[in-house]
Amino acid sequence: MSRVQVEVRDSVAHVVMCRGEAGNAIDLAMARALLSAATACCERDVRAVLLRGEGRSFCVGGDLREFAAMVGQERHDHLMAVTDTLHEALLVFGSMDAPVIAAVQGAVAGAGVGLAAAADLALAAEDATFLLAYTGIGYSPDAGATWWLPRLVGPKRAMELLLTNPRISAGEAAAMGLVTRVVDGATLDGEARQLAGQLAKGATNAFGVTKRLVVQGLSSALGAHMDREARALSTAAVSPEGVEGVDAFLTKRPPRFHRPGAD
């Protein structure tokens, strides 16, 4: 069975990490499967992505047993292969117009935190706990953790999480901005599916532009960024989505957004 399963229903890609017996730990096969899944989402009519892990945990990070089975240069080269592949998967997920929603439960550690942080929206079950863990085993972070965390929770809090490795609750993660909100564990799947379905009916191209503007704004001067916003808005106004959205608003009906050429 593949480490990751992808099923597209009603324009929502359900991406499931299928290594529940190992906490969905990321070995090389899992990294490759995540990259294949991300690529598949780009090649199909996907308007929202829902990422989750099977079993009790979302993702406990890298597969330390696999890493420990190697020594010296072999371990070094293997870690490079795992991280390069995982990072490419994250870049592909991040570059798509479709919003990516992470539904997280149980243990979220190491690269699992990176996966949740990189998602556009993240719902956390009440039982979710977050632990960076890298420096606790003498490793440095990956999965974009040192890029996302300072932007989401602030540099000082990010440094605390990365250097002292506290285990934080779902409520604490939401309060500091690491996840979007906390939901009852029994309703996590349903609420995540509902959110993904809602977004899949939205203006996908506008979502993609908005995602890129938010990321670009984190490192842009205000004037240059507002110029970028103006150009993007003007382009959106004459796009099929923009025309449909305004017409729907003025005629008091729900908008019918779709990709050009899609049914």
Predicted local confidence at residue 26, as pLDDT: 97
Torsion of CA 86, 92, 93, 96, to 10 degrees: 180
Residues 125 and 196 both lie in one domain? yes
Residues 195 and 158 both lie in one domain? yes
Report the alpha-carbon distance of residue 95 to residue 157 in Å, rounded: 27
Assigned domain for 182 exists: yes
Residues 64 and 179 both lie in one domain? yes
Assigned domain for 112 exists: yes
Residues 229 and 133 both lie in one domain? no
For the question of whether the overall pTM of this predicted structure is more than 0.95, the answer is: no
**What's the CATH number where 141 sits?**
3.90.226.10
Report the alpha-carbon distance of residue 242 to residue 203 in Å, rounded: 8
Contact between 115 and 91 (Cβ < 8 Å): no
Assigned domain for 113 exists: yes
Residues 190 and 222 both lie in one domain? no
- Three-state DSSP at 219 gives coil
Contact between 36 and 87 (Cβ < 8 Å): no
Torsion of CA 161, 69, 24, 4, to 10 degrees: 130
Report the alpha-carbon distance of residue 108 to residue 114 in Å, rounded: 9
Residues 108 and 147 both lie in one domain? yes
Residues 13 and 45 both lie in one domain? yes
Assigned domain for 116 exists: yes
Assigned domain for 263 exists: no
Of the CA atoms within 13 Å of residue 90, those in its CB half-sphere come to 21
How many other C-beta atoms lie within 10 A of the C-beta of residue 12? Answer: 23
- Three-state DSSP at 240 gives helix
Which pairing describes strands 12-17 and 48-53: parallel, antiparallel, or unpaired?
parallel
Residues 107 and 153 both lie in one domain? yes
Contact between 180 and 122 (Cβ < 8 Å): yes
Report the alpha-carbon distance of residue 228 to residue 214 in Å, rounded: 11
For residue 156, give its domain range: 4-200
Assigned domain for 15 exists: yes
Assigned domain for 262 exists: no
H/E stretch holding 93: helix 72-95
Tokens representing 69 are 């089975």
Report the alpha-carbon distance of residue 149 to residue 139 in Å, rounded: 17
Q: How far is CA 79 from CA 2, 112, 221, 227, in A?
A: 21, 16, 36, 41
Domain count along the chain: 2
Report the alpha-carbon distance of residue 173 to residue 247 in Å, rounded: 40
Residues 196 and 216 both lie in one domain? no
Residues 15 and 96 both lie in one domain? yes
Locus of tokens 């070094």: 76
Which of 200, 215, 237 is at the close of a domain?
Answer: 200
What stretches of 178-250 show up as alpha helix (H) in DSSP? 188-200, 204-217, 222-237, 240-250
Task: Mention every residue, 6+ apart, whose C-beta is less than 8 A from residue 123.
Answer: 101, 102, 103, 104, 179, 180, 181, 182, 183, 188, 191, 192, 195
The tens-digit pLDDT sequence of the chain (263 residues) is: 689 999 999 999 999 999 999 999 999 999 999 999 999 999 889 999 999 999 999 999 999 999 999 999 999 999 999 999 999 999 999 999 999 999 999 999 999 999 999 999 999 999 999 999 999 999 999 999 999 999 999 999 999 999 999 999 999 999 999 999 999 999 999 999 999 999 999 999 999 999 999 999 999 999 999 999 999 999 999 999 999 999 999 999 999 997 544 44
Residues 193 and 236 both lie in one domain? no
Assigned domain for 259 exists: no
DSSP 239: S
Residues 143 and 20 both lie in one domain? yes
